[in-house]
Structure 1
Amino acid sequence: MSRQRSMEKILESEYVTIGELVRITNSRYSTLKFYTEEGMLPFEQEEEKLTRRFPREKAIERIEEIKELKRKGYRVDEIKALLKETNL
Structure 2
Amino acid sequence: MSRQRSMETILASEFVSIGELVRLTESRYSTLKFYTEEGMLSFEQAEENLTRKFKRQTTVARILLIKELKSNGLSIPQIKETLEMDK
For 2:83, what is the secondary structure of its paired residue? Answer: helix
Query: What is the number of equivalent residue pairs in this alignment?
Result: 87
1:46 is displaced (CA, Å) by: 2.8
For 2:44, what is the secondary structure of its paired residue? Answer: coil
- After superposition, the CA RMSD in angstroms is 1.4
Counterpart in 1 of 2:32? 32
Measure the CA separation in 1 of the matches of 2:66 and 2:80. Answer: 9
Counterpart in 2 of 1:64? 64
**Aligned 1:5-84 pairs, distance under 5 A:** 5-47=5-47, 50-84=50-84
1:47 is displaced (CA, Å) by: 3.0
1:83 is displaced (CA, Å) by: 0.4
Q: Are residues 7 and 78 of structure 1, via their aligned partners in 2, closer, same or farther at CA, if it must alter by over 3 Å?
A: same
TM-score of the superposition, structure 2-length normalised?
0.94
Q: Which runs of 4+ in 1 moved over 3 A?
A: none
1:36 is displaced (CA, Å) by: 0.3
Identical-pair percentage:
64
Measure the CA separation in 1 of the matches of 2:33 and 2:21. Answer: 11
Measure the CA separation in 2 of the matches of 1:48 and 1:77. Answer: 34
Amino acid in the other structure paired with 2:81: A
